[in-house]
Chains A and B, each alone.
Chain A
């Protein structure tokens, strides 16, 4: 089939067909500059403030699903076959305000108003999923929205009150669901899309096999999944990312399969989707998961992207290393698997050949007697990059530690196992003294940096203390070992 040379999507109610799209065009600029939909604001252009929050609806394995995302780092070409909903399209029955808007007005939820459209959109996405949220659920949904005026209290009050102003069933996106679904289905033609604008080239593969071919043909292409990292290359570093191969639309990379003592995640599974499955299997991750970025970023970002970019401060790699995960790399039709820790060679250097891409991640099911923990320590509790990220996986048999996998982020140029500390633990008695003494070996494993997130001294001190926390939490006296959080 010949490639299509335009992207097709819905913007609010309208059908859009655009061919003049470059690799680095952002949705926010398109909305504000081309469409003059100025209700969506730019606060930071890096996905951290949420003033640009909009909804993107997409057929997810056949089912229409809307998610709150950041328009500032959402690249236009990733919108093929999507429904974009902006603040301008929100409305209640008979020209009245939408229930979310009404609640915000009645509860004095806006002051300067600049962040407000973004809050309204995040609360809208929450309300559609969960019309009666708890305060904790509201806070989680608002991790990616900054407000500098209100102190948030009136926004939380508004969020709790939304359902008093209308029901989800009466909501316009509910009522138009069947119509939008069929319109999006009509856009599905299983064709590759190729866009050319001046020097820029964009490829949107038809399926995973097409992706494999494209990567072989264009080994230097930038691969873009959720764009939560690459988006900043565009908006902050003004980097030319062309040619680009987009892969976030590929259902073939969004599969989650369980069985045979393991769970396999497609590399394109978002944090949000991954968390639902992984936290059920490994309950210790539940408290960790919602500290990864904010809600919008968890909806956009993929676990594959967090591994593939090789960042030393990503939160997934330490966890996956500790769990003993393997990754599968694919080149054409060839595939190879390796333990995830072997993928990270050095800062900016990964075990990835030309034409190869990360296809899936395999996590073993928990072993009996396994003791697990994952810790994230950051300056701000939510939506912050880790100062130190640590994951523990110990097997204790008959009171002795028989196996240890302990990995850290933020402590070295790559996510890395604490080998010296692990070796000190293996064979040792399961005791606080053993953990504390193993922690002392961390300075053999790591020489962390000082930067704006944390000093080397703090990183090393915290990393050591987390060994103690791990023991206390798994001992009988450890009830008071951790801050209580909503």
Chain B
């Protein structure tokens, strides 16, 4: 457990740099003389054969140094992260989405490159395009990656025996990451085959491997550095690979530094987003609302290539139970190929689309039986002793959901407030209210089991200062802060003594993406392992030097206490150095217990689960569909928090992002297949005034991770994203009020004011 000196409110280690503008992002790095700028030439068709691509005007434009096409790639023209070879850097004979890169132009300034990129003369032969997952599935379209089936029990007899059965469909929109810092890569050529790329990537090791693959080099020739990202959210896990490769390709070809940074509109057009889903469900339940059988088909808009759509759609199925036990269940994923940008990781990674389907099913049952949705949730929660096996045959061992729900229900005065909401709506006014208390259970671990490993590199210099590197990347979540806290705690020194700077492939190799909420779990343990290795040597040295036993040695308060001796940490380190103790270590960690057999759909893909719940109350305007979120209360489980302030920041931020996904953030393609919501002017993420009017966030501080995670904490990045579903469900209840709660509103997501109003009108018309 944590030492008392462990500061739970340790502020972000870059906070002062953030507020003064001195925090350095990739675009802020001073450019060497002669730096060139690359810009992508993008397709303006959703699906077409390329009859010809005439780049002469591009080449002849002012300031242009040259262009890059597939023919200039010495290695593979492919950046598919799962090795399916389906994602060219530059399209060759055909384009498969509007915004697909066909070439890059290299010029003396970004402005010159950007202008030149528009001058290509492309002769397209249009082909029919499919934009929507439902449409693709109906047409018997292709999968971009093999689908998954999860099955337990037998749905057919259960369906036949159940007194109630409802079939329905839900459409769930995608989401753009809208990280404030867009994609960027800045490559500097070195001697021989060397190239160094500064980038804003969540997965620098993969970028390294991709650059090497594209350039036909060894990974050891390529260095990727990430000091920090201006937000990632999954959007910079695989999507940065292309930019890194283009910058590196140009840097080597012209032997000059090359930067690539697309304009926001091009960033949003050319890079992937959260998958939209069309979900068909068939639920059978009894008179109490207990689910007897569930059949679900999850079709996802994957875009033109696989990218991470396999694991994303898998995770949607893994979370189609949310917190509920399905005695008989049959789930299929349908990763549909569409003529849209290839969708990718986004906080929750398919999980939210699974969870929201479970919550829709709860709503269907509640409205069919004229009950409170919370009663239906309770009736279906996983048990602790029985009713505790998931559709993927993992037993839920750490279920704390009932306590979370009970505590939140009590603290927010749910029952009384729900009565007040019903009373308000009974007046039949223009404004209607809704309240919903929704749970989240989220599985922690990469489902690609081999990703669950991490490394660190710890140096103690002989003046007692400590430098630490790990395989995670800092995107605002405070990972470096948490890791420095762990190292400071291990050595009993002040936080300020630990220096963590950029993440680089030079220090820790073969790292996994900083993703799947795993950053602290994996890298924290690897850092601790590195510290413990050095500490063991230091203890051995002290035992010999001062003739004491290991239990007589304590590292605390910047000192080392050795029996009756007390030395300042720095002095002790100096003595250890003089005694030739190795003061450096490479730490390592791999998550125990997990295994997964995708073919059989069985295993233990998750080390543990994180839990949470939120209760939101909303008011809608039945004349316009506009709404306000009047109050949200959250109780969330992070186990024993490593840093309560950072964790609360993650919970608050994830909730608002999740709420945005389900309310105002709408991706809209025109009939030609062009995304028309491609910048903040047209794509609306929440503003300060959109956050709940009353917003209370608490951590379930009593929760202790039953698994041996770092300081018994739990991952926090993704799980609270799904707390935003309480807003969506509350909106749904407000809509349902216009038909006396007898009809499930079947709101599709996002519940824009338009969808809310049209649902109100639909329910009023009795449809």
Give A111 to B481 CA distance when docked, in angstroms. 11
Question: CB within 8 Å of B: which of A251-270?
Answer: none
Interface centre among B680, B689, B691, B754 (most CB of A within 10 A): B689
The stretch of A147-155, A321-329, A400-408, A411-419 in contact with B is: A147-155
Give A307 to B620 CA distance when docked, in angstroms. 32
Write the chain B residue with the least CB distance to A91.
B20
When the two chains form the complex, which single residue of A115, A120, A466 contacts B624, counting CB atoms closer than 8 Å? A466
**A469 in contact with B430 (CB, 8 Å):** yes
Give A105 to B17 CA distance when docked, in angstroms. 10
Is B395 engaged at the interface, CB distance under 8 Å to the other chain? Answer: no
**A113 in contact with B624 (CB, 8 Å):** no
**B263 in contact with A45 (CB, 8 Å):** yes
Smallest distance from the beta carbon of A458 to chain B beta carbons, Å?
4
Smallest distance from the beta carbon of B117 to chain A beta carbons, Å?
10
**A452 in contact with B230 (CB, 8 Å):** no
Given contacts A117-B21, A150-B649, contact A462 B624 (CB under 8 A): yes
Is A185 engaged at the interface, CB distance under 8 Å to the other chain? Answer: no
Smallest distance from the beta carbon of A91 to chain B beta carbons, Å?
9
**A146 in contact with B680 (CB, 8 Å):** yes
When the two chains form the complex, which single residue of B11, B233, B680, B757 contacts A44, counting CB atoms closer than 8 Å? B680
Question: CB within 8 Å of A: which of B611-628?
Answer: 619-621, 623-628
A97 proximity list for chain B (CB < 8 A): 16, 19-20
When the two chains form the complex, which single residue of A109, A236, A375, A458 contacts B757, counting CB atoms closer than 8 Å? A458
Given contacts A381-B690, A458-B757, contact A484 B28 (CB under 8 A): no
Q: How large is the interface on B (under 10, 10 to 19, 20 to 34, 35 or more residues)?
A: 35 or more
**A46 in contact with B264 (CB, 8 Å):** yes
Given contacts A46-B680, A381-B626, contact A148 B19 (CB under 8 A): no
**A155 in contact with B624 (CB, 8 Å):** no
When the two chains form the complex, which single residue of B20, B230, B623 contacts A466, counting CB atoms closer than 8 Å? B623
A353 proximity list for chain B (CB < 8 A): none
Give A111 to B12 CA distance when docked, in angstroms. 7
**B231 in contact with A112 (CB, 8 Å):** yes
Return the CB mask of A4-33 against B: 1 if under 8 Å, else 0. Answer: 000000000000000000000000000010
Given contacts A452-B682, A483-B626, contact A43 B181 (CB under 8 A): yes
Write the chain B residue with the least CB distance to A143.
B687
Smallest distance from the beta carbon of A47 to chain B beta carbons, Å?
8
Smallest distance from the beta carbon of B120 to chain A beta carbons, Å?
15
Is B418 engaged at the interface, CB distance under 8 Å to the other chain? Answer: no
Give A281 to B33 CA distance when docked, in angstroms. 58
Smallest distance from the beta carbon of A387 to chain B beta carbons, Å?
7
Return the CB mask of A448-486 against B: 1 if under 8 Å, else 0. Answer: 000111110110011001101100100000001111111
Is A48 engaged at the interface, CB distance under 8 Å to the other chain? Answer: yes
B653 proximity list for chain A (CB < 8 A): 111, 148-151
Give A147 to B431 CA distance when docked, in angstroms. 30
Give A145 to B688 CA distance when docked, in angstroms. 8
Return the CB mask of A120-164 against B: 1 if under 8 Å, else 0. Answer: 100000000000000000111011011111111111100000000
Question: CB within 8 Å of B: which of A226-254?
Answer: 235-236, 238
**A114 in contact with B757 (CB, 8 Å):** no
**B265 in contact with A41 (CB, 8 Å):** no
Is A108 engaged at the interface, CB distance under 8 Å to the other chain? Answer: yes
B645 proximity list for chain A (CB < 8 A): 108
Give A147 to B477 CA distance when docked, in angstroms. 13
Given contacts A111-B476, A112-B180, contact A46 B689 (CB under 8 A): no
Is A272 engaged at the interface, CB distance under 8 Å to the other chain? Answer: no
Interface centre among B24, B231, B623, B677 (most CB of A within 10 A): B623
Question: CB within 8 Å of A: which of B167-199?
Answer: 177-182
**B21 in contact with A88 (CB, 8 Å):** yes
Is A76 engaged at the interface, CB distance under 8 Å to the other chain? Answer: no
B16 proximity list for chain A (CB < 8 A): 97, 101, 105
**B680 in contact with A39 (CB, 8 Å):** no
Smallest distance from the beta carbon of B606 to chain A beta carbons, Å?
26
B679 proximity list for chain A (CB < 8 A): 44, 46, 48, 236
A387 proximity list for chain B (CB < 8 A): 753-754
Give A153 to B720 CA distance when docked, in angstroms. 15
**A113 in contact with B23 (CB, 8 Å):** yes
**B689 in contact with A382 (CB, 8 Å):** yes
Is B695 engaged at the interface, CB distance under 8 Å to the other chain? Answer: yes
**A455 in contact with B680 (CB, 8 Å):** no
Is A116 engaged at the interface, CB distance under 8 Å to the other chain? Answer: yes
Return the CB mask of A62-104 against B: 1 if under 8 Å, else 0. Answer: 0000000000000000000000001110100000010011001
Is A385 engaged at the interface, CB distance under 8 Å to the other chain? Answer: yes
Return the CB mask of A172-204 against B: 1 if under 8 Å, else 0. Answer: 000000000000000000000000000000000
Is B18 engaged at the interface, CB distance under 8 Å to the other chain? Answer: yes
Smallest distance from the beta carbon of A217 to chain B beta carbons, Å?
29
Given contacts A152-B688, A156-B688, contact A482 B230 (CB under 8 A): no
Return the CB mask of B241-273 against A: 1 if under 8 Å, else 0. Answer: 000000000000000000000011100000000
Return the CB mask of B11-36 against A: 1 if under 8 Å, else 0. Answer: 11011111111111101101000000
Interface centre among B19, B118, B264, B427 (most CB of A within 10 A): B19
Smallest distance from the beta carbon of A462 to chain B beta carbons, Å?
5
**A105 in contact with B15 (CB, 8 Å):** yes
**A41 in contact with B230 (CB, 8 Å):** yes
**A112 in contact with B476 (CB, 8 Å):** yes
Interface centre among B180, B182, B477 (most CB of A within 10 A): B180
B264 proximity list for chain A (CB < 8 A): 43-46
**B430 in contact with A480 (CB, 8 Å):** yes
Smallest distance from the beta carbon of B257 to chain A beta carbons, Å?
15
When the two chains form the complex, which single residue of A105, A153, A452 contacts B691, counting CB atoms closer than 8 Å? A153
Smallest distance from the beta carbon of A247 to chain B beta carbons, Å?
24
Give A454 to B107 CA distance when docked, in angstroms. 40
Is B758 engaged at the interface, CB distance under 8 Å to the other chain? Answer: yes
When the two chains form the complex, which single residue of B181, B228, B754, B757 contacts A41, counting CB atoms closer than 8 Å? B181
Return the CB mask of B654-697 against A: 1 if under 8 Å, else 0. Answer: 11110000001010100000001101111011111111010101
**A482 in contact with B231 (CB, 8 Å):** no
**A379 in contact with B664 (CB, 8 Å):** yes
A378 proximity list for chain B (CB < 8 A): 753
Is B334 engaged at the interface, CB distance under 8 Å to the other chain? Answer: no
B460 proximity list for chain A (CB < 8 A): none
Write the chain B residue with the least CB distance to A140.
B689
**B619 in contact with A483 (CB, 8 Å):** yes
**A146 in contact with B178 (CB, 8 Å):** yes
**B19 in contact with A150 (CB, 8 Å):** no
When the two chains form the complex, which single residue of B115, B427, B628, B687 contacts A483, counting CB atoms closer than 8 Å? B628
**A380 in contact with B11 (CB, 8 Å):** no
**A146 in contact with B21 (CB, 8 Å):** no
Is B96 engaged at the interface, CB distance under 8 Å to the other chain? Answer: no
Give A469 to B621 CA distance when docked, in angstroms. 10
**A381 in contact with B689 (CB, 8 Å):** yes
Is B752 engaged at the interface, CB distance under 8 Å to the other chain? Answer: yes
Give A153 to B664 CA distance when docked, in angstroms. 19
Smallest distance from the beta carbon of A318 to chain B beta carbons, Å?
16
Interface centre among B22, B626, B690 (most CB of A within 10 A): B626
When the two chains form the complex, which single residue of B265, B657, B687 contacts A383, counting CB atoms closer than 8 Å? B687
Question: CB within 8 Å of A: which of B264-322?
Answer: 264-265
B686 proximity list for chain A (CB < 8 A): 151-152, 380
Return the CB mask of B499-536 against A: 1 if under 8 Å, else 0. Answer: 00000000000000000000000000000000000000
- A sample of 12 more A-B contacts (CB under 8 A), given A112-B230, A379-B752, A486-B693, is A39-B20, A43-B680, A44-B681, A49-B180, A100-B19, A142-B688, A151-B657, A152-B686, A452-B668, A458-B758, A462-B757, A484-B619
Provide a sorted-by-A list of 30 A–B residue pairs whose CB atoms are within 8 angstroms: A36-B30, A43-B180, A45-B263, A46-B679, A49-B680, A101-B19, A101-B20, A104-B19, A105-B16, A111-B649, A112-B228, A113-B17, A114-B25, A116-B23, A148-B178, A149-B476, A149-B653, A150-B649, A151-B656, A151-B691, A152-B687, A153-B652, A236-B263, A379-B666, A380-B684, A387-B754, A465-B757, A469-B430, A481-B623, A483-B627
Which 7 residue pairs are nearest across A and B when measured between Cβ atoms? A39-B21, A114-B230, A112-B476, A113-B18, A151-B656, A111-B476, A87-B21
